[in-house]
Structure 1
Amino acid sequence: MSKTLKKSLYLSAAALSLITISATNAKAAKKAHYATATYSVMYTDRADSNVLVNANNAIYTKPGTMPGAKLVASRDELSDLTTSSSDKNTFFVYQMAKTSRGSYYAKVVTMDKRYRGWIYAGKQDFSMNLNNIGGGLNPVTTLGNAAMPDVRTGYTLKNQRLWTAPYHTSIDAKRINLAYTNYTSNDTFTIDRAARNRAGWLYYHVYDANNPSIQGWVYYGALGMSDTSSSTGYTLNFSTDYGNTTSFSKTLSFEQLGASSNTPASLNMYNPSITNLIPAGYHIDANKPFTTNDDQRNLTKGGKATVNLVPNSLINLNIYDNNNNSSFTVNNNAQLNTDFNNYFNLNTLNSSNSYRYITADNLYNFINVETNKGVITFNNGYALNRVNGDANVSYTDNNVYVNITTNKSGTTNY
């Protein structure tokens, strides 16, 4: 072999080695460019794990810095959703990822399932507290409290559509199949909560007066009044001057008055079908609740009675918490008390032989409303906890004492 050919072969081998080393280094550099991630489930209440996009970041099939991540929705495409009040454009957060670079991503899906994927969510762990979320997302409340109607009983379902939550306000909202319950088309419903979605649509939470276990949410337009007539039911005339004038009237069915196959209809001042009709600011006079010529324990069809109303004394609210009141400040005590009396039906609290409890959920929602209005301010990073069971409430001499729980950690008690 000639010296020239031999030298040429040596040079070719050396060049091939350099090419191989360069390719290996390029692959290693490319691999080092991508981040790795660890994944976590969400520990927040699913009903409250909702956010809106702010178009600061796009949505990908994987966390954006991961290999193989593909674009699902660009920032420009998401910008149209930032100004939308439609609940179908609310996103539900159901998984978290932390990359090796310290960034957090959220896996989200819209209520209508149109968009699904991963989006940058800031530099804080939000798996236990959605208030820590950032980046391309902002927390949102899908339901706000609404005023209760004056008439709260005697409603029927027009289309038999009852939901576990208002449509598109919770990812778990499902229609209740009434065919598998004891519901009949003659059943009447009582309203115990009112709320509006982000678009302003009004919904009522109702329960079946005959079968209280049947309960759920319904759009207000899907409720109708029962067809009980004055000749087949019993008419109540509500009066603030013991029958001299009538403020309003309502005819109730005998079932609403407690009648059954073995029990006659009767007048009871604590019957929810009656107390839920009482306007704000009044309660039934315990000394003379009704004026009627009928036997109040055995009513007759077509009968009528006067319900005697007297004004409430203002209920004074005193709230305290498990952090010695260091977690919040009441900025406007008069407004807090006015809102409290308007928000809760406290009629029965004015009677010494009755009481009314406040559910933890209702108290949680009320405190949040007052916080959003600026009536209450939480201090030094404290947050309100939602607790299980009923709220801790005591009542003496027109004063209500309510205990709330707060925390200053990264977790929230759900």
Structure 2
Amino acid sequence: MRDSLKRTLTISAAALSFATVASFGTSASASKIKQTGTTNVEPTTAYIRNYKATGSNAIYTKPGKLHGAKMVASASTAAQQPVLRGYKIAKLSNKSYYMKVVGFDGKYRGYIYVGKKNPINNLKKVGGGLTYLSTTSDATLTKGEKGDLALAKAGSETQIHKVPKGSQYKTNPLVTDTSDYAGHKLAASKAVTNNMDGQKWVYVSDVTAPTNVSGWVRASDLTTYVAPKAPVSVGNDQTTVTKNWQREFYNPATGTKAYSFDNLNLQLIGTSGNANVNWTTAVKKFNTDATVKGDKKDVVPADTLATALKNAGLSTVYMKVTPTMLARIPGGLLDKIDKTGAYMKFDLDMDNIPTTTHYGDQLKLAYKLDNTNLYYKPLVSLGGLTNTNADGYAALPIQLNAMNTLWGLIYQ
């Protein structure tokens, strides 16, 4: 019995010695693997560092091969996360790489194996336990979204974001309360679908106040822009234009645009005082237009003024220059074109109109001569020459630059 006990103790001691050696060998093997490098990924690449766990690897507190690494989430638990954001890369001495990730909800954070190639070289191509995930997809702007837009309900319920909400990790709104954007005209330039929830987002810029923040807004938070109606001014002050008008010309002495004062309805170049009935009619029509009648203290809206000038026929004026200026041959070309003669075309210079016009003001209009053509009203077909413009006039190509320069020299 004494020999039996001795043999038992000897075998037990040997087994314990073997286990100790084996344990030491495993610990020594694990301790040989070291972390040899760490790379913090650039913030500018945030939009391409979203991943989905493949279910083949777990998430650990430190790279899984390192001594003391503890499991944060099993491989199956990691795979259940909608999206993981990668932000740091660790390299081990066994030439394997781990990426530190965090769930968008912040519940799980740690390292997951991503293969034997450094993902920093191509963040969209990682191996091991991760695969790249695009959180947004390009979308097409609808016909309505390509037009003028506005916030359907400006305020704290509608926000403007740097990126579509939920498509990136911890993205805060650029504008949390859009009350200041109420009634503003917005323009859309692109759209995406948020793959996380399927919502469409539109990138908009403020047209009314261009210095405001531009950013992403839910498509459902946008509506068609409706321009506010101009306030109606009540009064009897009639805005008018003078029968006299200014002629724009290039002043060769100063090299700038200037204006001459022409008060003779082009009589200086040979027309009779009553020849340009279209000018006289247009002036009378504008001077009785009720849309530019109101209270002297109120300013005429710019678009209202421009519309009234156009409706009266003052945007473009054709001034008669024949028969007295150009030679007439009985039965010749001019007679075949129009027995009333040819015309010079003048376009209204809106820049010369005061930026602030009150109801009841009297305006002196300025016009720029079309230097490249004379115009006529075609009465018979002359082939390609009878192509008329929107005003019903056809062009006769002719260079009037010399006349324009002469006019400038006379009136400088």
TM-score range, shorter chain: 0.3 to 0.5
TM-score (norm 1): 0.47
Q: Which has the larger radius of gyration?
A: 2
